[in-house]
Amino acid sequence: MKKHMLKAMLLLIWLLTSIRGNNPEIFSHAQNSALAVTFPVDGKMIFEHNDKKIRVFDTKTMEEKVSIDAIFRIENNTFFNDEGDRFNYSTSNIPSNIYNFNTNTSITLSPIQDHIPNLDEYFVNGQWLDNNRFLLEYYDIGSSPALSKVGVYNLDTQTYTLILPLSWGESITTLNQYIPSLSLPIGIINEYTLSGSFYFYPHPQLPQWLFTQIYANGPTTTDEEGYIYSDNIALLVLLNFQTGESMLLNSYLDFDYAFGTAWSSDGKRLFLRTRDDVNRIYQIETLYIGDLSIDSEIEHLYTTAIPKSHTILDSFGYSDLILTMDYIENSSERSIYITDVTQNQYHSQKFIQDIPALFSDFYLDASDTEKWHLSCLFDRTLPTQLVVGGVAKVAFREGTPADWRAFPGITEDILAQVAEGTVFDIIREPECRDGSRWWQVRLSDGTEGFVAEASTDEYFIEPVVATPFTSLIESDSSTTVTESGITDTYTLALGTQPTADVVVSVTGTDQIMVSPVALTFTQQNWDVPQTVTVSAVDDSVDEGDHTAVIMHSAVSSDAGYNGISVADVTVSIGDDD
C-alpha cells in the first residue's frame, strides 16, 4: 500500500524528475565548457543546460562539439538518431529542430502542433525509432478525461501517427481497446483506473517494439490521520505498435515498479532498476527477451543489488554495458558510470566526473575492435592464453565438451557440443558477456561459432602449442673424418617458424673442429638448412680409429626455442699415426 498524497500528474512528474536526476543543484557546473572525462571512449554525449543551451561533448577528447540555443525542460527530449549523425532538440515546448553533424546545420520542422490536436507543454519524449522517425509522447490535459498519448513523427512526410492514447481515470479495461492482445492480471479488471504512462523505450533493433509502464490506481482507504492510501500498480508492457502484439512482464520480475530502464545493444536483454520497499534497497533486474523477430522466450536472468544512489540512464551502446549515474540527494557532485550487472554482480567504471548539466543521450562511436575490448572492461575470468590467428583446442575436463554457440552469451543458441581435444582456429578478437570471454573460432570444415575461454577457476579451451624441433641431417647418414684431412658435413634447420632469432651454438672437442661455431635462424630463413663442416685434429698420438661428440645448444627470445634439446652428432675419426 502506498500513500496517495498527490494527483496522478504530480506523481508522474515526480517520477520523471527523480529518475532522470532533476535537481536545481545538479546545474552548479552548467557553464563548464569542457567535459571531465575520466575514462575516454570514442563517443559523444548530449547535455541540456539551464542557460538554455544544448551542448554536445566528445567523450574521448573532452571537447565541446556543438552548442546551440534551446529551451530548458525538466523532461529530456534530445536524442541521437540510429547513426548518431543527427539529434532532435527544442526551441519551444516541443521538438522543433534537427541538428545534422555532417553539415553542421540545423533544420526547422514544420510546426508539430499542426499535426497534433491539443498539444500542450507536457511533452516528455522524443526517442528515435530509426534515422527518420521519432516518438512523440505528450499529455493532453485539455481533454476530459485527460489523455496520455504516444505517436510517431515521420521526418520525410512530416506526419504524426497516434499509436496509443490512454484515458486517465477510466477503467483499466479500456487498455484492451488499444491493446487487445494484452492479458490483464486476474482480479483487477473492475477495481483499477488508469493514471498515466511513463516513457516509451524503443527496441534498438526492432523499433516497432516498445517497452513502457502503464500506471493504474486501485481501491483507496483512509487511515486515522486522514491519509489516503491507494493500492497502485504499474503494468510493465512490451508492445508492437505495428502488429498489436503485446506481453506483460510483471510476472517475470521480483518487483513491479521500474525506476530506470535500458536495453542491451542487441535488444535481447532489458535492464530495469526496481525497488524493494520492505528492505528499502534497489536492484537491477535483467530480463532475457530473446529474438522478438522470431519468438520471445522471456526469462529472468539476474537480480543484482546496486548502490541506492545509482540509477539507470541509458544503454552504453554495446553488449550488456549500461550507463548509470550516482544520484545523491542535495549534492551537485554526480558522475556517470559504465556499468555491468551480469552474474548478479555490480561493477562500474567512472566515465564522466561531475556532470555539467542534465544528461540527455549518449552515442558510442567506437570501432568494432574497441567495442570488443570495452565489453571486457570487467572481465573477471582467468587470463587469456589465446591470440587471433592462433590454434586452440577444447580442454580435457573429464569428458566435458565445449558449447559452440551462434553468438557470444550463455543464452545464445548452441550450434553443437564440441568434444575434448577438437582443434580449431582463432579468427577474431574476443568479446565478453555473461561473465565469460568469447572467441570466434573456425573448425577444419569451415564451421564458425563462439566458445567461452574460461571461468574464474578453469579453462574450457586452451592453445595448441607447436613443439619446436630441429632437422639434423648427416651426409650419408653418418659423419666420418680422418686426421689425414678428409672432412664431412651435416646440416641443421628449424622445424617451425620462430617468433625471434634462434642461435644454435656448435661445440667441438680437442679431437675435432667445427665451422661455423654458431648458426643463426630468423623468421625468414628458419627452414633453410645451414651446413656445419667437421674436420679432425691431426695429432701425433697413435690412438687408432676413435669417435668424438659434437654438442649443440639453442638460445632465443622465443620461449619455445630457448634452451631446447638439439641432437648430438657422433663423429667417426680415422687415425693416421
Q: Per DSSP, which regions of 264-375 are E strands?
A: 269-276, 281-291, 295-305, 310-315, 322-326, 336-340, 347-352, 358-364
Element holding 373 (H helix, E strand): helix 368-375
Residue 132 CB partners (closer than 8 Å, separation 6+): 154, 155, 156
pLDDT of residue 211: 94
Name the 3-class secondary structure at 114. helix
* Dist. CA 263–CA 80, nearest whole Å: 15
* Dist. CA 179–CA 534, nearest whole Å: 93
Cβ neighbours, 10 Å, residue 440: 19
DSSP 332: -
Sheet holding 43-49, edge to edge: 64-69, 53-58, 43-49, 358-364
CATH assignment of 391-463, among 3.40.30.10, 2.30.30.40, 3.20.20.70, 2.40.50.100: 2.30.30.40
C-alpha cell, 283: 536492484
Going by C-alpha positions, the residue among 204, 263, 181 that lies closest to residue 84 is: 204
* Dist. CA 183–CA 247, nearest whole Å: 8
Going by C-alpha positions, the residue among 458, 514, 453 that lies closest to residue 481 is: 514
Query: CATH for 2-19+40-375?
Result: 2.120.10.30
* Dist. CA 190–CA 252, nearest whole Å: 24
Is residue 510 left, alpha or beta, with left meaning phi > 0 and alpha meaning psi from -120 to 50? alpha
C-alpha cell, 463: 592453445
pLDDT of residue 73: 53
pLDDT of residue 57: 93
pLDDT of residue 27: 29
C-alpha cell, 207: 523499433
- Largest distance between two CA atoms of the chain: 127
C-alpha cell, 106: 540545423
Q: Are 175 and 184 in contact (CB under 8 A)?
A: yes
Cβ neighbours, 10 Å, residue 226: 6
Please report, for the chain, the start and end positions of each structural domain, with discontinuous segments joined by +: 2-19+40-375, 391-463, 470-574
* Dist. CA 352–CA 219, nearest whole Å: 44
pLDDT in tens, the chain (577 residues): 333 322 333 333 333 333 333 332 222 233 345 678 889 999 999 988 777 788 899 999 889 999 888 765 545 568 899 899 998 887 765 667 889 998 998 887 776 666 666 555 455 567 899 988 988 777 666 666 667 778 888 888 888 888 887 777 788 888 888 888 888 876 656 678 888 766 789 999 999 999 998 888 887 778 777 777 777 888 899 999 999 899 999 889 988 788 889 999 999 999 999 988 777 888 999 999 988 877 778 999 999 999 888 889 999 999 899 999 987 666 667 899 999 998 888 999 999 988 877 888 999 999 999 999 999 999 989 999 998 988 899 999 888 999 999 999 998 989 999 999 898 999 999 999 988 999 999 998 889 999 999 999 999 999 887 667 677 888 888 899 998 889 999 999 988 888 889 999 999 999 999 999 999 999 899 989 999 999 999 888 888 888 999 999 999 888 778 888 888 999 999 887 6
Assign a CATH topology to domain 470-574.
Immunoglobulin-like (2.60.40)
pLDDT of residue 35: 75
* Dist. CA 355–CA 118, nearest whole Å: 36
* Dist. CA 58–CA 65, nearest whole Å: 6
Q: Are 217 and 234 in contact (CB under 8 A)?
A: no
